[in-house]
Amino acid sequence: MLWFLSSIAIINSMVNGYDGSMMTGMQSLTQWNDSFNHPTSAALGLLNAIFNAGGTCGVVIAPYCTDLLGRRLGIAIGSVIILVGVILQAAAANTSMFIGARFIIGFGLSISSNAAPILVAELAHPRFRGTITSLYNTQWPLGGILAAWITYGTFQIPGAAAWRIPSALQAVPSVILLCFLPFMPESPRWLVDKGKSDQARAILGRLHGNGDIHAPLVELEMNEIEEAIKFERQNEKVSWLELIATPGNRYRMFLAICVGIFSQWSGNGLTGYYLTQILKQIGITDAQFQLRLNGGKEIQAWVLACVGAFLTDHVPRRVQFITGTSGMMICFSALTGLTAAYNNNPSRPIGLAAISFIFFYSAFYSCGWQGLTTLYPTEIMPYNIRAKGLAVSNLTVNLALFFNSYINPIGMANLGWKFYLVYVAWLPCEVLIMVFFFKETKGHTLEELAVIFDGEKAEVAGNRLGFDPAQQEIADVNAELAKVEGHGTSTPDDMEKGEPEHIERQA
């Protein structure tokens, strides 16, 4: 049931992936180019970037919807706004209407994209939190697959229907969400925060305790959640300045911003929204072949993103980040070199070799980044700033995407393949920052992660990590009792195993 419910919530990410692939496919459609006066350079950049401009504006109100109204209602509000935008986009009679519609879609998506991954992470069983939350972003390439092959299928349709049909089908993920949302449980952490602990325990019992609301794991999670929220209320500040109020929070924001920037400024803005332009620079000008390559790349991206998501609970986050980015750095450098060689001496083998490195680059991005882009910022934030922190990370993503969408076509139009050198120089910087600054988060509950950033001051996380003085005192007393009773020595590790005699002595 938990996996099924999570699979519904993560559908939200399909809207974003669908949009990028759809706009890539549109650039190969003569019908779309005719409808919008064959946009190039800055005009093409605006048609793409306005989607992210809407997302940037929506980020301002997204955390309030998520925190005040609840995760489920936040998803619903965002989905309804997306539907309004999609209807206007599919019915667009001119460029201005198309631009306005895309702004509305981006605005709605920023609200639902704030609430959906938080709901997934807060409902997830601790054992599978990494995998389930990582799977959220795997729906990005799945949406891309649908858009790529839908635009390929409508290629032969005469007139504006060739692009109106793909535009209208962008509504499907949001419709599915709205249909299933009444059956989705609310976040237990949000319910506890709103004084509804009984409802929270019932949800955890059903999804984490096989129906037993007093299962050991449920008791542990409820204790951690209640302690965490109590501690955060005592130290709560309503201002956004809380995001940078402590050294731990400043470190979190640094990492969240880095993830937002790196996830979009690593060359993927070129291979995503402007694949058509890249292919033209290596001699691939046939529109149908361009659409097939786009569709094939999206299929590969989805399969490998799922592989990366299932690796997340087995491979340290840092290893995934560093390996993926290092591979991207090598492949993008090779793509740049081959594109330069093709421009100096046009040759079909060189062009095909360049295409292969586009796919290799996409493979490293999918395995290393696709899932962690949402997972990492979500899990490093404590409850009281989780929505706002994720909103800042999403804001960074939108600003980076806006820059990519608007500047990339201008740079490519003026510099050609030499514009790729910007990313060739930037990718090594990303790798170094990850090596020296990224923290490992694998293997802890959401509450325990506070210790990694806040140290021993993170009282609510001390229970299982050994930093809580009161817990240590209990362990010392247990050790003495164990010696008297002849049971050997009781250690904090023994207590963590949850053996009955240790639990009884602790009580």
Mind listing the pLDDT tens digit for each residue in 291-326? 888 888 888 888 888 888 888 878 888 999 999 999
Contacts of 401 (CB under 8 A, 6+ apart): 49, 51, 52, 55, 264, 269
Range picked from 135-144, 276-285, 348-357 for highest mean pLDDT: 348-357
pLDDT at 40: 73
166-204 tens-digit pLDDT: 999 999 999 999 999 888 899 888 898 888 889 989 999
| pLDDT higher than 90, residue 505 | no
pLDDT at 492: 39
pLDDT at 493: 44
Positive or negative, the Cα torsion across 249, 253, 254, 258? Answer: positive
**Which has the closest alpha carbon to 281: 426, 401, 413?**
413
Contacts of 504 (CB under 8 A, 6+ apart): none
| pLDDT higher than 90, residue 432 | yes
- Distances, alpha carbon 476 to alpha carbons 83, 487, 489, in Å: 59, 14, 10
**pLDDT band for position 500 (cuts 50, 70, 90):** very low
Annotation: CATH topology of 2-452: Growth Hormone; Chain: A; (1.20.1250)
| pLDDT higher than 50, residue 498 | no
Contacts of 422 (CB under 8 A, 6+ apart): 411
Question: How many angstroms separate the CA atoms of 431 and 309, rounded?
Answer: 20
pLDDT at 20: 75
| pLDDT higher than 60, residue 229 | yes
**pLDDT band for position 124 (cuts 50, 70, 90):** confident
Question: How many angstroms separate the CA atoms of 93 and 369, rounded?
Answer: 38
**pLDDT band for position 238 (cuts 50, 70, 90):** low
With vertex at residue 351, the alpha carbon angle to CA 350 and CA 353, rounded to the nearest 5 degrees, is 65
> Any idea what DSSP says for residue 10?
G
365-387 tens-digit pLDDT: 988 887 788 788 888 888 778 87
| pLDDT higher than 50, residue 464 | no
What pTM was estimated for this model as a whole? 0.67
Question: How many angstroms separate the CA atoms of 387 and 65, rounded?
Answer: 9
pLDDT at 264: 85
First to last CA, the chain: 33
pLDDT at 506: 42
pLDDT at 334: 94
Q: Cα 153 from chain centroid?
A: 29
Q: Which two tokens stand for residue 262?
A: 């790196």
pLDDT at 75: 92
Q: Which two tokens stand for residue 370?
A: 């696709």
Q: Which two tokens stand for residue 168?
A: 């209208």
Among 77-81, 140-144, 283-287, 482-486, the range scoring the smallest mean pLDDT is 482-486
**pLDDT band for position 431 (cuts 50, 70, 90):** very high
Q: Which two tokens stand for residue 181?
A: 């949302």
pLDDT at 507: 38
pLDDT at 398: 79
Q: Where do we find the tokens 């956004």?
A: 240
pLDDT at 257: 92
The residue that leads in pLDDT, 214 or 233, is 214
| In the chain, % of residues over pLDDT 70 | 87
pLDDT at 456: 62
pLDDT at 470: 43
444: left (phi over 0), alpha (psi -120 to 50) or beta: beta
- Distances, alpha carbon 279 to alpha carbons 247, 262, 265, 285, 410, in Å: 46, 24, 20, 7, 16
**pLDDT band for position 417 (cuts 50, 70, 90):** confident
Task: Tell me the domain boundaries of the chain.
Answer: 2-452, 468-506
Among 159-163, 285-289, 330-334, 383-387, the range scoring the smallest mean pLDDT is 383-387
27-77 tens-digit pLDDT: 878 888 888 888 776 777 788 778 888 888 888 888 888 888 888 999 999
Phi (first) and psi of residue 259, to 5 degrees:
-60, -45
One DSSP character per residue, 370-428 reads: ITHHHHHHHHHS-HHHHHHHHHHHHHHHHHHHHHHHHHHHHHHHHHGGGGGHHHHHHHH
| pLDDT higher than 70, residue 285 | yes
pLDDT at 463: 44
CB of 405 within 8 A of CB of 52? Answer: yes
The residue that leads in pLDDT, 126 or 262, is 262
The residue that leads in pLDDT, 107 or 481, is 107
pLDDT at 467: 41
Query: Mean pLDDT across the chain, nearest whole number?
Result: 81
pLDDT at 499: 43
